[in-house]
Amino acid sequence: MTTTATHFLDKTDEQQAITEMVRQFVDEQVLPVAEKHDHEDSFPDEVVEQMNELGLFGVTIPEEYGGMGLDLTTYAMIVEELSRGWISVAGIVNTHFIGSYLLMKFGSDEQKDKYLPRMATGEIRAAFSMSEPELGSDVQAIKTAATKTADGDYEINGQKMWVTNGLRSALVFLLVKTDPEASPPFKGMTCFITEKEPGAHENTGDYAGLTVPPQLKKMGYKGVESTELVYDGYRCPAENILGGEEVGLNTGFIQMMDALEVGRVNVAARGVGIAQRAFELGIKYAQERKTFGKPIAQHQAIQFKLADMGTKLEAAHLRVLKATRLKDAGVRSEVEAGMAKLFASEVGKEVVEDAFRIHGGYGYSKEYEIERLYRDAPLLLIGEGTSEIQRMVIGRKLIEKHKI
Ligand SMILES: Cc1cc2nc3c(=O)[nH]c(=O)nc-3n(C[C@H](O)[C@H](O)[C@H](O)COP(=O)(O)OP(=O)(O)OC[C@H]3O[C@@H](n4cnc5c(N)ncnc54)[C@H](O)[C@@H]3O)c2cc1C
């Protein structure tokens, strides 16, 4: 179901075919099992296996590396569809996508050859790690550090927090401090591609010194793991600095901020997807449930709510499209990505809440899907930068642009 027929008119034939394929996959394979995995907080192995088969882990990876070579706009449309089913399955793809973006944009040829083909098929998955127990928004305050050893490797020590795909990933794109004296601090930060054993809590052998504690218990966004990562004497070869040591040392902050721009569009697309599903549930229930002798959809207050939900949903989708199309055209789109993230994540939460209200008491029951959406939606206000941080970025850029 879409809010209006025009919802699809802005797609190319290829985009139309892919999003229809993903929608069918979501209807048949994701929605029927989402509640079960949500209630059990279990990883949806069978769904991820099918996502591998559909090539969804390599959507933006170039064809020469075995991916589909599609643009960010098409990727965002896919994320909208996946999130309509369950934002956790979109989450499994999202940090993997950020890792592949970092490699494609900043990786050395050797790094691309080594990792991208296996990432494209989903054989290995990636995580993206900046946050620490004491910081999320204030990235320059990172304490995890890498120090060069006598044999040329780097030794990494420190603790990371909230790592999506933290357990099952094989690669973690990790932002650490490499020059503690750098001023401002961001000039002393580096992104390492740290390898690990997928699924192992205690890494051994080449990856010794990396522990993955039990996954964090969350309000929603179940199934996909969020973990801490403890690096304690973990050795990483210098060649695993993103872009190589010569180019990549102390440039990690800039690389990660660039990746966050697409990461924000990612989250915005998730906001659209969850809002779409909430809208579908709300408009259906409103026509089924009767009060005072007629379907509640006949009450003007409910119609107004549905009108606002549909309008916000369309607007959020268009905001995402603007940001992705600019990025695909090679235009720096920090403001547009920030606006899309801010607007679509807030819309996700608001439309879900409206659909929850339309469900009355049943919305509070675990028997109804809207209950899960109500617990899932708030994550989008936090991940890839909170709404407050988006406003800071947007405000600063707008003042620069309109300087008198
Ligand atoms: C489920 C989940 C998955 C995540 N996955 C990842 C991941 O894969 N990788 C990763 O690196 N991180 C991940 N994160 C972390 C996420 O990016 C951070 O939680 C987020 O950036 C906010 O940081 P914080 O939690 O430390 O909040 P804080 O930075 O402590 O902020 C607390 C509050 O203060 C506000 N605030 C902070 N600074 C300012 C300011 N200057 N002005 C006004 N208000 C301000 C914030 O908006 C917020 O409301 C994940 C988080 C969650 C919950």
The per-residue pLDDT for range 61-80, each reduced to its tens digit, is 999 999 999 999 999 999 99
What integer is the mean pLDDT of 13-42?
97
User: Do residues 338 and 393 lie in contact, with contact meaning Cβ atoms separated by under 8 Å?
Assistant: yes
pLDDT at 8: 47
Distance 239 CA to ligand 1 centre (A): 30
Contacts for 257 with CB less than 8 Å, ≥ 6 apart: none
Q: Is the pLDDT of residue 1 over 90?
A: no
Q: What number does the ligand 1 atom closest to the CA of 164 have?
A: 8
Can you tell me the distance from the alpha carbon of 177 to that of 249, in angstroms, rounded to the nearest whole number?
10
Pocket test for ligand 1, best of 135, 257, 382 (most atoms within 8 A of CB): 382
Mean pLDDT of the chain: 96
CA-nearest residue for atom 24, ligand 1, is 136
Angle, vertex CA 263, rays to CA 65 and CA 189, nearest 5: 90
Sign of CA dihedral 52, 228, 133, 216: positive
What integer is the mean pLDDT of 213-240?
98
Distance 131 CA to ligand 1 centre (A): 8
Q: Which of 17-26, 263-272, 327-336, 368-377 has the lowest mean pLDDT?
A: 327-336
pLDDT digits (tens, 9 = 90+) for 280-300: 999 999 999 999 999 999 999
User: Do residues 272 and 313 lie in contact, with contact meaning Cβ atoms separated by under 8 Å?
Assistant: yes
- pTM equals 0.96
Contacts for 104 with CB less than 8 Å, ≥ 6 apart: 60, 61, 62, 112, 116
Distance 15 CA to ligand 1 centre (A): 33
pLDDT at 10: 77
pLDDT digits (tens, 9 = 90+) for 343-377: 999 999 999 999 999 999 999 999 999 999 999 99
> What percent of the chain has pLDDT above 70?
98
Can you tell me the distance from the alpha carbon of 128 to that of 146, in angstroms, rounded to the nearest whole number?
17
Q: Is the pLDDT of residue 3 over 70?
A: no
Identify the residue whose tokens are 């990790």.
174
Enumerate the H helices of 188-333 as residue ranges: 245-248, 252-288, 300-328
Going along the chain from its start, the domains and CATH numbers come out as 5-121 (1.10.540.10), 126-250 (2.40.110.10), 255-401 (1.20.140.10)
Q: Just list the catalytic residues.
A: 384
pLDDT at 332: 83
The DSSP bridge pattern shows strands 126-129 and 171-177 to be: parallel
Q: What number does the ligand 1 atom closest to the CA of 95 have?
A: 8
pLDDT digits (tens, 9 = 90+) for 152-204: 999 999 999 999 999 999 999 999 999 999 999 999 999 999 999 999 999 99
What integer is the mean pLDDT of 208-224?
97
What integer is the mean pLDDT of 13-40?
97
CA distances 281 to 70, 178, 225, 353, Å, are 31, 49, 27, 12
Nearest to 349 by CA among 287, 267, 284, 247: 267
What integer is the mean pLDDT of 33-39?
97
Q: Is the pLDDT of residue 392 over 70?
A: yes
